[in-house]
Amino acid sequence: METKALASLIDHTCLKPEATQADVVQLCAEARAHGFAAVCVNPIWVSLAVQELAHQTAPVVCTVVGFPLGATTTEVKVFEAQQALENGAREIDMVIAIGKLKEGDLAFVEADIRAVVTAVHRCQAICKVIIETALLSDSEKVRACQVIQAAGGDFVKTSSGFSSAGATVADVRLLRQTVGKTLGIKASGGIRDRAKAIQLIAAGATRLGTSHGVAILADD
C-alpha cells in the first residue's frame, strides 16, 4: 500500500494522561503534514485541536467518550459527546458498557450506544464504538457487533489501548465477518509498525488508531 493511502486510514492519536498542549500542537502539525484521517485527543484538548486544524477538511478532530472503561452512565456519555461536538469534534469514539455486555444485558448496551449515536448523528458526525476485544470471548465480540449494528453505530473499534491487549488480525477478521460491509472497523492498540498495519487492513480494518503513525509511514 502506498504511503499516502495508508496515511489516509490513520487516526493519529495522543490519549496519554500526561499529554500537554505542546504535545497536541505537535500531533496536529504531524497530522497536517502527513495527511492522516484524524487526530484523536482527550476531550480537554478538542478545542485546541480544532483551532490547530482550522480551515481544513482533513484531518478532522476525534475524541473519546466514556473512556477508557465504558462504565459511566449513559447520560454522562451523551453529555460528553454533545460537549465535544459543540467544541468542534467530528468523530466520537465511545466505549460500550463492557460489564453489561458480558452479563448479557444487551438491551442496556444497545440503548447506551443508541443514545450516543443519536447525539452524534444529530450533528452529522461519526460514532465509533469501542468494544475492548481483549476482555471479550469471540461470541461476545460477535454479539457486540450485532448490538452496534442495531444501535446505528458507524464503526466497531477493537480497543481503547488501555486494556491488556490491543488489535489483532484474528479479531479484525472476526469483526469484519460479522458486520459484512455495513460498518467501518477501527483497529487500535499496539499498532507500531507498517507490517502490522498492512495486515490489519488486509483483514478488514478501514481505520487504524495509533500513536505511532509517523514511524509507521517511515517504516518502508
Span 29-58, pLDDT tens digits: 999 999 999 999 999 999 999 999 998 788
The active-site residue out of 11, 93, 112, 154 is 93
Q: How far apart (Å, rounded) are the C-alpha atoms in residues 46 and 140?
A: 32
Q: Which CATH architecture has domain 3-218?
A: Alpha-Beta Barrel (3.20)
Please indicate whether residue 186 is annotated as part of the active site.
Answer: yes
Please indicate whether residue 181 is annotated as part of the active site.
Answer: no
Is-above-0.85 flag for pTM? Answer: yes
The active-site residue out of 77, 141, 186, 196 is 186
The burial class, CB within 10 Å (0-12 / 13-18 / 19+), for 21 is exposed
Domain boundaries, the chain: 3-218
pLDDT along the chain (220 residues), means of 10: 96 98 98 97 98 91 98 98 98 98 98 98 98 98 98 98 95 98 97 97 98 93
